[in-house]
Structure 1
């Protein structure tokens, strides 16, 4: 059987993080940094079938894991069959999967990968059944930094498995990357959400939706609207490498909102207005350099306003403020993206900004120990190819 390769993008929150939990509108976008998954089914027929296994290689983590089919069947039950419709992981099944992950004796330094590996086992056996094969994963995205690396992993994995199982049909004779029809994208998205539930408990579904469909979305209280930028948007993503506890940050904003109800309601309303205006500007036409510059200046102002409101919510951090001060010296606008408390910061790179200035900004930020990634915003979603 041919090797299947899939890639799907990470995401950024352009506006509305935290406030969205309190009813405000938010805007998220795909970025051109991808998680890559390749899947090669094992179609050999050894005399002893019990020797065959499911293998997972996490290249960036230098980790190779393997489960004999006989062990999977014994733990998860012989009667479990592959399904083309999304299947939730029951509590009982999750306990069995947790044991299978523990048996791999993952080094302590990499134990944070356990939930992702659990999601892998659920998705693999649910879609592909107890059939041998090898999955190899690599990613452009830093893990746990708020750029949607887990959703990107789930989307790419699901797509590769569904394509290999012929649940989604792709022209295998076509060279290069294939896009999927909306029906197949919806199926991938629903499956990926089941993986995200294992990783995050009660995810919003925004990350996997952006990773699947690409482009941009506006969302509020579970309502998603796909939007499309009329012109390219470039961002510098700075990873502060400061870890943060998303649940704790969300809880702290809620606590502040309960202590200062009127003031925080005004903050959330302001964020809602910013997101709606940003969405309209992104979709507006920009015919020439002057109108492109005017458009980007408005986006910069909205980013700065949104960052000020995030500071009001108490989710900034010393590392984020360092990025803000550094980019401001070059007259560039920045804001945190995601939960805050560390994580990543976005800086708009105007169309007419020279590459030498960008290089200076990156050099200064990297001298602080940060990681810088240049990205195009609002691009392609999931793609698949055969090799």
Structure 2
């Protein structure tokens, strides 16, 4: 039996940075996925190792089960139906196992992800030999939730073959999980995210698990249902950024200009709530759809202006904004800013030839362009009994 799970990435549609200061933000899943396939060896030929293949990076890792057991002892097993946090002691032991793999220096940023993999695997499956293959359509470190999509798809595939979820193994194609199963996957994925990020908000893994859209404010998450199809051009500037430093710089600006920034955050809160209302409203004809798209474009432009007030734009982001504006398209940064990704709304009446022109111009600047549907399904699994 082989199981494959897929989990989507995410974007912030409105409210980034301001959400740290009590405003509302809206996040949504995108139909770009991370896939995790899990299989147990059928015979003893290869039956004493845990193998991880990161296909997109052409990296393969292998640990003998004896070595893992020796390193972790009883620390490596939990009850899959009730996740516990990984202790600092366990993280040290896991990090030592990862170091033994001699990850190339230019790939060292993935070490925390490999650590999270080892912990999730041994916690849910114990000390079983297996092969895990990971592929992804999401660029790493660009603010599109690649680490959460990994933790969600990995948790789902591991739990699917752990006996702790009620599943119909005979069904064909991609299966959507029930509420209880989704809740369990989300809890495990959040623990994996904590290993990678330290103190994540839980937004990324929740969007990746449940899909669609989420409104969040002051730690409270509300799931939304989108009633309008939205397509976005996502431009990855390929400029890395330090999220922690950008968040700190906004707080420092607020300390210097408390009244001005309070007004900015209040305006962002209004924009986020209006975005959520528009997305949830139903349209009965093409005119209503066009009107809603136009309103979204205006809200995106306003949100971008307010993000510039916060000081989190970047020369690369401005290049994307100017380029898309030439084609009368609305754009805003998504996530931390300072580089990362920019969203551009693609109206339903926009011609494909115009989209191609925009993409060609952006790619000539060295940017990566992805087209994604917004607010689709969350994590799903697929069984292949012939594997």
Tell me the TM-score normalized by structure 1. Answer: 0.97
Q: Give the match's secondary structure for 2:12.
A: strand
Distance in 2 (alpha carbons) for counterparts of 1:78 and 1:170: 28
Partner of 1:61: 57
SS of the residue 1:77 aligns to:
helix
User: How far, CA to CA, are the matches of 1:80 and 1:290 in structure 2?
Assistant: 57
2:333 aligns to what SS in structure 1? strand
Report the CA distance between 1:231 and its aligned residue.
1.5
Of residues 66, 73, 86 in structure 2, which corresponds to 1:70?
66
In structure 1, C-alpha distance between the alignment counterparts of 2:201 and 2:42, rounded to whole Å: 38
- Answer whether contact 1:10 1:35 (CA < 8 A) is retained: yes
CA contact (8 A) 1:250 1:339 kept: yes
Of the candidates 90, 93, 97, which is equivalent to residue 93 of structure 1?
90
Shift of residue 195 of structure 1? 0.3
Q: Which whole-Å CA distance do the structure 2 matches of 1:280 and 1:306 have between them? A: 16
Contact 1:240 1:320 in 2 (8 A): yes
Q: Give the CA deviation at 1:83.
A: 1.7
Question: Residues of 1 paired with 2:11 and 2:77: CA distance?
Answer: 36
Quick one: distance in 2 between partners of 1:168 and 1:53?
A: 25
Paired position in structure 1 for 2:3: 4
Residue 42 of structure 2 is aligned to residue 32 of structure 1: no
The question of whether the paired residues in 2 share the 8 Å contact of 1:170 and 1:178 is answered with no
Asked if residue 325 in structure 1 is aligned to residue 322 in structure 2, the reply is yes
Q: How many residues align?
A: 383
Alpha carbons 2:76, 2:119 under 8 Å: kept: no
Q: Give the distance between the partners of 1:221 and 1:41, measured in 2 at CA.
A: 42
The runs of 5 or more residues in structure 2 that have no matched partner are: none
Q: Measure, in 2, the Cα distance between the counterparts of 1:360 and 1:228.
A: 32
Q: Which runs of structure 2 are paired with 1:219-238 in the superposition (5 Å)? A: 219-238=216-235
> In the alignment, which residue of structure 1 is the partner of 2:207?
210
Q: How far is 1:42 from its partner?
A: 2.4
> Aligned partners of 2:372 and 2:35: how far apart in 1?
17
Assess if the C-alpha contact under 8 Å between 1:87 and 1:126 holds in 2. no
Pick aligned residue for 1:301 from 298, 302, 306? 298
Listed as ranges, the matches of 1:134-145 within 5 Å are 134-145=131-142
**Does 1:112 pair with 2:109?**
yes
Which residue in 1 is equivalent to 2:254? 257
In the TM superposition, residue 43 of structure 1 has moved relative to its aligned partner by 4.4
1:45 Cα deviation after fit: 4.1
Deviations 1:22-75 (A, max 9, x none): 0000000000000000000124346xx9x7011100001110001111111111
Query: Is 1:183 the counterpart of 2:180 in the alignment?
Result: yes
- After TM superposition, the score normalised by the length of structure 2 is 0.97
Structure 1 residue runs of 5 or longer lacking an equivalent are none
Offset from partner CA, 1:152-209 (integer Å, 9 cap, x none)? 0000000000001121122111110101100110000000000000011100000000
* Offset, 1:222: 1.0
